[in-house]
Structure 1
């Protein structure tokens, strides 16, 4: 990792089948409606923030409310604010975008005001890895050696209420890795901001927080600090799990429920894979939101006392494949489409970000 392209030198590159030129992201009028942080997202009031993004994947919010968005195939990071043009602010060097790999999750340091650190999970030439950097600075590799493949690269990263960095990884197409405690693949990892195994992990010195996962791309905490994760199934069931340290969630021995009598932890919610393929998840108030790729809808799931109720589908087919859902500092819900990822039907203006103000 030795070269960082200057922001002014960002250029177009292969967009992985996108029908628009990278760098053509444009703001859309009508996306600046006021939002009440104490309210709940109004899913009937969605408005586009920006369109023409090249395979948006990671999304995180800076303390001032602006979003940073990762373009999976180009390796660029855009800074986005409602009503303004998207601004390319960084390109992560060394991104190798093949299959499901590329520039994936983003996270903002809880100490951003002091450190200015942004974290990124991406696919490199030989592995998946995590770097941190300041805008305009050189990236520092803090964790590497995650097996990569054309599928199941995981990629979601987020800081928890405890200030530790949580990482959703995939099995990279080899299910046995998920049950191997020595492998970081097929796991949820818990790291210090420097990339070390966090103190208090189930096995001292190991980054593994939970195991038995197939492909985790969604992480979210409720108001009590409980961690939930979204996970892709194979042919039968997609899942949302309540994550507890040291627990084994069954893959590849079991998919969906039915593993409790064998020492595994069952999911709280399942769907047929045709209805979901859950990527990003977010929690606002007492509702869990799940962005569905293959299912092309947003699922809302009531949350009561750490348990999830019956899911309800929203926005079915309206925007196509949905990759990431996130709650902004003003309480608005942001949703990214993923129709230019090589698996979707590209619509005029794709890919885009939609904002739902809280009221």
Structure 2
């Protein structure tokens, strides 16, 4: 259990600031068995990105009987509307408490929002963790709150190689960490931001379309558990070539079922495909890098410490900043949420 520390301003108001990291799925989930309970169609497994983070401050204020609750959320200084995901998270907490509380959330990120870099995972993991520590909730409730906000956020609550097991209902759907983040300290990420604008079709809308129309999706789901087990085995033994091939094949397959949706969904652009070809060329003599793309054109490339500087130099010399790509970052693996003192 992660240590808890919160600031009580008085008995009527509590404040806490949390830093959480996005996670990059090595085996991705795409599609939900239940939208209401955020139950995925398949398991997924991920690692957190240390360089990127969401810093989130939560103020919980006790509300008198008959007083309007008035929750608010701002991200990077901009007030955002309280969509169903925020309502679901806040209501779930209030249902557990003896009295009513209102929540003010202010979050800032050092990476693009809604651009396919798992910003919602970091954001909702931070909110869930902050709520959990403010009201002394057990870890499984924190995970559930994160999942209600964004399915992948549940994986950002824990550290290391984290698997989200889909289960058959809300009580069975849970996350487990197979290895700590320092099990393979040599792993690195090179993150290529191709576009930092919000994507035209959200992940939620894309998943719904794929689940309804893709004929290839069930084939992907049938292979899911085998690939999860192979990822765990490769990570356990530090077998980078095997890990890399699994990561790239799964990314390719997810985007294949997106294209198989009707109408087809295209999250990758021409630069994304150039990055794919670049990585395969980089791997010509030996497998030293593995690309993966979430629902967007931005690339996350896994590699090892011994290759990361060469990979970064090759990327930045091949793809010009400000023209083909917005920026390029190097990151180590991240941890679970932390209280910011």
**Fold conserved between structures, TM > 0.5:** no
Structure in which a larger fraction of residues adopt helix? 2
Q: TM-score, normalised by structure 1?
A: 0.28
| Larger strand percent | 1
Greater relative contact order structure (CA < 8 Å, 6+ sep): 2
TM-score (norm 2): 0.29
